[in-house]
Amino acid sequence: MPITCPFRRLFRICLLAAAASLAGSAMAAPGERLDDRYCTTCHGADGRGNEAVQAPKLAGMASWYLRLQLENYRAGIRGAHPGDIEGLAMQPMAAGLTDESIEDILDWIGGWKVIPATPTISGDVAAGAALYRTCATCHGAAAEGSEALGAPALAGQNDWYMVTQLENFLAGARGAHPEDIRGAQMRTMTAVLGGEQDIRDVVAYINSLTARMVE
């Protein structure tokens, strides 16, 4: 693992760069009507997520959260930190979106079929359940999310994506921008996570909540 990981990450970054140029060619030239439907190039058919380029599942995502994140990327509030490799790839994908195209995208994504993500990581589910008690106050007992608290649903999301996000919050690569109020709230919460093992355990527990969605 320690040997293959960096290479695997490098490989994904190369793929991501290739996908970005592909999506870039689908984006409109200045003055043309913006074609905003290049998202599935990275996020996969039906927006089910694509681990090869580290793009998470979008299908089933609440529109209030989707809108906030697209606005944050567009404004450079998210995806601008040099340590946020995947965020840096997504940021230019949102940079050219108008308010109108964001609304169009929300409508479009709202019609996608929702397939809960397949687990790829393992951890100590019981230890994760204990850690998750803190998380539940915002994300909900079933990880269903809370619009009032700005906390997205976690159940059903790709586990590899959640691991990266927790690592990024912990490292200050996400949630450190002074205007990222919600991101900062989440960032302080990662204080309950001691490191990589805790991250895997809590995500393994979230996977068990995803499994309940499928039952």
Tell me which residue of 149, 183, 144 sits closest to 62, measured CA to CA. Answer: 144
Place of tokens 């994300």: 139
Nearer to ligand HEC, 3 or 136 (CB): 136
Amino acid at 171: A
Restricting to residues 35-94, name those near ligand HEC by CB under 6 A: 36, 38-39, 41-43, 53-56, 58, 66, 68-70, 79, 86-87, 89-90, 93
Q: Which stretch binds ligand HEC (CB under 6 A): 1-9, 118-126, 186-194, 207-215?
A: 186-194
Tell me which residue of 52, 49, 31, 29 sits closest to 39, measured CA to CA. Answer: 49
Q: Considering only residues 9, 13, 15, 23, which one is a binding residue for ligand HEC as defined by CB under 6 A?
A: 23
Q: What is the distance between the alpha carbons of residues 208 and 119, in angstroms, rounded to a whole number? A: 9
Q: What is the distance between the alpha carbons of residues 163 and 143, in angstroms, rounded to a whole number? A: 15
204 is a contact residue toward ligand HEC (CB under 6 A):
no
CA 97: distance to chain centroid? 18
Summarize as ranges the residues that interact with ligand HEC (CB under 6 A): 16, 19-20, 23, 36, 38-39, 41-43, 53-56, 58, 66, 68-70, 79, 86-87, 89-90, 93, 105, 131, 134-135, 137-139, 149-152, 154, 157, 162, 164-166, 182-183, 185-186, 189, 192-193, 202
